[in-house]
Amino acid sequence: MPTPGKIVLEARRIVKRYGHVTALNGADLELRAGEVLAVVGDNGAGKSTMIKVLCGAVIPDEGEVILDGQPVRFHNPLEPRKLGIETVFQDLAVAPALDIATNLFLGREIRCEGALGFWFRRLDKGRMRREAEQEMRALKFHLPSIDSAVENLSGGQRQGVAVARAAIFAKRLVIMDEPTAALGVRESGQVLNLIRTIRDRGLPVILISHNMPHVFEVADRIHIMRLGRRVALTNPQRHTMAQVVAIMTGAVPGDETSANAAADSF
């Protein structure tokens, strides 16, 4: 894993237009190793578009993305995955009728060795089950049984399966889009603990959330967007929730110079 504090992913002067609407207007972002970076902003601030650029779902009109010091240009969501970037979207993309182990390896199934796997494409379900149990224990996320169908899990447990899948296969970073949306207090706590565990394992996390208490609970730095660009970069020690909301809504002007101060304090 990279040295804590080193920039892992960087977006520079990203512009994305949809006809006459400019979703991103010269937006910047830096993710450092060993941190949870919360991206916040009002509706229409450009959060979702920025994240889609970083995970390959949207191709920017201008600007560049830099991964570990090297410029990259993603043309589809598969390319970031090959480079170790995993994204958890709000719709989770799980198969409810399948068990937890199968969902964790969805799209990355392990085949049996030898002719059974090569010619008959038989899956090594035993190995997938063992590795799934091992990974869930390492992530300290408790489930009733690794053989349980996802449709029988609670909302928080389903979210945990999706987040765990990203954590298992991510090599560089994890992006999470509203991971605690529509969850209760207890279930949200489980997901927030999982985010902390992922960070403690050395994987940096980009967290998009409207829930300010959750942001202040787990974020190391807070990236504030408004009108398609970053207006401030801070941390829970420098600004209160009320101050962050005021910057988000434009009640208080943002200060890009605070980005350098917040970066230096990490």
Residue 63 falls inside a structural domain: yes
DSSP symbols for 41-104? E-TTSSHHHHHHHHTTSS--SEEEEEETTEEE--SSTHHHHHTTEEEE-TTTT--TTSBHHHHH
> What is this structure's pTM?
0.88
Residue 107 falls inside a structural domain: no
Residue 29 falls inside a structural domain: yes
**239 close to 208: Cβ distance less than 8 angstroms:** no
pLDDT of residue 120: 77
pLDDT along the chain (266 residues), means of 10: 80 96 96 96 93 94 96 94 90 83 89 82 89 87 86 87 88 92 85 92 93 96 96 95 94 63 46
What is the residue range of 34's domain? 7-92+174-181+204-265
Nearest by Cα to 60 from 3, 16, 13: 16
pLDDT of residue 187: 84
What CATH number is given to the structural domain containing 80? 3.40.50.300
Number of domain units in the chain: 1
Residue 137 falls inside a structural domain: no
pLDDT of residue 142: 79
Residue 131 falls inside a structural domain: no
Residue 223 falls inside a structural domain: yes
Residue 26 falls inside a structural domain: yes
Q: Quick: pLDDT tens for 103-139.
A: 999 888 889 988 877 787 888 989 999 998 988 888 8
Give the type of residue at 204.
P
Residue 51 falls inside a structural domain: yes
